[in-house]
Amino acid sequence: MDYATRDEADKKALQSVVENNAEGQALYRDLTHDFAHHADVFKKFKSARPPIEQLLNMIPVLKPRSYSIASSPLMHADKIQLCVVLVDWTVESTKELRLGECTGYMRQQKPGATMMCAVRQSAIVLPKDPSKPVIMAGMGTGLAPWRAVTQERVCQNRQGLKVGPCHLFFGARYNAEYLYKDEFESYIKEGVLSMHTAFSREQARKIYVQHKIVEAGEAVHQCMLKQEGHFYVCGSARQVPEDIYTAMKEVMMANERVNEDEAEAILSNLKMEGRYTVEAWS
């Protein structure tokens, strides 16, 4: 890489990153804090100009982005709907607005545009018997797969099938972020859906989805252990699955009259039976 960096100061700084010394670690932290990409590095180190063939070997291929399908084929047979939030941020050092690679690309498309995509099998498996309860928990765009599941149940109900209880726990910061509000409220009126919302910043004490699950603990327990229901979670892998798991453990402890270890064993069995499913993103 030495031949690609002509300036001695640039060479020294970049070498410190490679050697992972204190100076290099600080420089790397600054770059990652600003979500720097390759072009940013070349702007910062203007003498760093590797040959194009080396550059192509250095830069990894973009990974595909996966999104949960937000619609049911029973309701939208010839369409796939997505629920996607635009990823954007401001680089602190330059005050430049940046857009996420995939969501920024989708934002630029016009109606009728052709995009490459592929449909993959989901980890979410619905109960074969529609009379079995489903309980879903999602935050923000984590609502996407649960909209699809709810639409599935709504269509089954309209076809005259016996449909079991359908509970949806949805969390956001504000009521204004209540996605598909009118649609979900129409399903509530049809008698298919029970909606439990948690808007964390609408009151002094922050309320999250896990609090609503504990609040509805008796119904959750009844659906899961008395009626052989299925429980699903969708959200950020950083904290959401753990918080929801803790709430479910509390529900089991309170309603089964068991200790923590016994509650964990119950949840472990549900997972092994495929009745406790987590779809998380990082």
pLDDT in tens, 80-104: 999 999 999 998 888 899 999 999 9
Per the structure, how many domains does the chain have? 2
Bridge-based pairing state of the strands 194-199 and 276-281 = unpaired
Show which of 58, 74, 106 is a domain's final residue: 58
Percent over 90 (pLDDT), the chain: 72
105 lies in some domain? no
Q: Is the predicted pLDDT of residue 2 greater than 60, yes or no?
A: no
Kindly state whether residue 99 falls inside one of the protein's structural domains.
no
Q: Is residue 107 part of a domain?
A: no
Final residue of a structural domain among 31, 58, 85: 58
Contacts of residue 213, Cβ cutoff 8 Å, sequence gap at least 6: 137, 169, 196, 220, 244, 247, 248, 251
Q: Read off the CATH number of the domain in which 194 is found.
A: 3.40.50.80
Of 7-11, 180-184, 202-206, 275-279, give the range with the top mean pLDDT.
180-184
CB 165 within 8 A of CB 222: no
**Both tokens assigned to 30:** 């600054």
179, part of any domain: yes
How far, in Å, CA of 270 to CA of 133, rounded? 14
Residue 103 placed within a domain: no
Compute the distance between CA of residue 141 and CA of residue 213 in angstroms, rounded to an integer: 19
Residue 201 inside a domain? The answer is: yes
Tell me the average pLDDT across 199-220. 96
**Domain with 46 in it:** 2-58
Which of 58, 80, 101 lies at the terminal end of a domain, its last residue? 58
Location of structure tokens 């709810």: 150
Say whether both 156 and 263 belong to one domain: yes
